[in-house]
Structure 1
């Protein structure tokens, strides 16, 4: 039934809970398990610093810390942070792969972008039959304010998505 299963992970406890289910399904169906980490480029701060004129204040698009130090133009303080996020992703994927064992075929990837979009792109590009994801189980205002990668994937994926709620 399933030949290719995608396990997107962020290294959280919720993802760890979902890994067991992903591995069980891969074993049961003899499927390849794809372990994916998305380095979130939305978390990288990019903005414009406006020029100072006699009566025109600098742009309000960046924090106070940039106003005295940066010339006019584009500020991307996340360039170094993106590299660190990719490095962290490689560690997370490595830890997940170590936990899987040798009896499951595994493919790994670390990509950058908007997490839910890249998860959906990866699923399409690799012919994934099932996505297995963890969820933190937030409800109400927390879920609304924080958003949920898992929820966006569930709502927009073309394949089944198995969600595993993190237990305390």
Structure 2
């Protein structure tokens, strides 16, 4: 039975770096790309910008997630076994819960590497996942992002 590796993605350079790392380090694994659509993002956008209807933006976080997953999947070789999914919820909690529910063997995720006040105010998804996951977690810190 092959390994199952969860790769949470958000469209950023660190998440692309995490996917590349997972592909290189686990060439025979089944990869699951997970986009977590945070419902608060849609709510915040609507509350902060009443009448927000930019045509060039996605209509919802779910739609954005599907587009991100599609763009990531296009970069992978056809021979690679990849599953994609969009889940709604708090990113850190949803990643840990998905890993628990689906019996993955490991998680590889990118980190934005925020420090100081930004980290305190924005939190750290990677740190929370590392502390709460029941499986090994590899954090890819892309300092060039």
* TM-score category, normalised to shorter length: 0.7 to 0.9
Gaps of 5+ in 1: 47-62, 67-76
**Which string of whole-angstrom CA distances, capped at 9 and with x for unpartnered residues, describes residues 127-156 of structure 1?**
111100000111122111111111111111
Q: Are the aligned partners of 1:26 and 1:104 in contact in 2 as well (CA < 8 Å)?
A: no
Q: Using the alignment, how far apart are the partners of 1:11 and 1:2 within structure 2?
A: 26
TM-score (ref. length: structure 2): 0.84
Query: With structure 1 as the length reference, what TM-score do the two structures score?
Result: 0.73
Conserved in 1, the CA contact under 8 Å of 2:4 and 2:30? yes
Give structure 1 regions of 4+ aligned residues with deviation exceeding 6 angstroms: 63-66
Contact kept? 2:41, 2:61, Cα under 8 Å:
no
Aligned 8 A contact 2:37 2:62 in 1: yes
Shift of 1:26: 2.6
Contact 1:2–1:130 (CA<8 Å) still a contact in 2?
no
In the aligned structure 1, how far is the partner of 2:142 from the partner of 2:119?
A: 15
2: CA distance, partners of 1:136 / 1:64 = 24
1:85 to 1:101, Cα distance in 2 relative to 1, 3 A: same
Deviations 1:39-83 (A, max 9, x none): 00232438xxxxxxxxxxxxxxxx7998xxxxxxxxxx9xxx996
Q: What is the aligned residue count?
A: 137
Please name the residue that 2:40 is paired with.
42
- Which of these two proteins has the greater Rg computed from alpha carbons? 1
Please show how residues 1-168 of structure 1 align to structure 2 within 5 Å: 3-27=3-27, 30-45=28-43, 84-168=60-144
Separation in structure 2 between the aligned mates of residue 98 and residue 122 of structure 1, nearest angstrom:
23
Superposition RMSD in Å: 2.5
